[in-house]
Copies of this chain bind each other. A is one copy, B any other.
Amino acid sequence: MNMRTDVPLTPDRCEVECLHPEHVRPLLGRLISARDTESLSATFALLADPTRCRILHALALARELCVCDLALLVGISQSAMSHQLRILRAEDVVTRRRAGRVVYYRLADAHVRHVFRDALRHTRERGAARAAS
């Protein structure tokens, strides 16, 4: 280990140079690519919106919902709902199907469902833990 005395010691950083080649070597070349990183962070950015979170929660509770029912549940206009659904569909977060004159939306796949479910569980458990402390 190389001691460094020029770096202020805070609890957020190691106090010494502590590169562990045995930890780092197996991970080299396996880290997410720049392209996947951009795409992933863009997906998270899309989800980082309260209205879209409510839409996705409604779709996580139901198998599928039509635009009108979604608008009613989330409490926004049908026009605003159509706008949000267009954004979510462009990024493959939701899909739609037509049945006669009605358009139904659902979460695009199990991954989207799981992302939403686990993020919500994390949020709720974190809220409960903070309330208890």
Contact flags A38-64 to B (C-beta < 8 A → 1, else 0): 111111110111101110011001100
- The answer for the CA separation of A112 and B49 in the assembled complex, in Å, is 19
Q: A19-B69, A23-B69, A111-B121 are in contact. Are A44 and B44 (CB under 8 A)?
A: yes
Are the CB atoms of B61 and A31 closer together than 8 Å?
yes
Contact A120-B73, Cβ < 8 Å, known A103-B14, A109-B125: no
Known: A30-B61, A58-B31, A115-B115. A103 touches B13 (CB 8 A): yes
Copies in the complex: 2
Q: How far is the CA of A89 from the CA of B10 in the complex (A)?
A: 14
Q: When A and B form their complex, which 4 residue pairs have the shortest distance between CB atoms, in order from nearest?
A: A45-B48, A111-B122, A44-B48, A44-B47
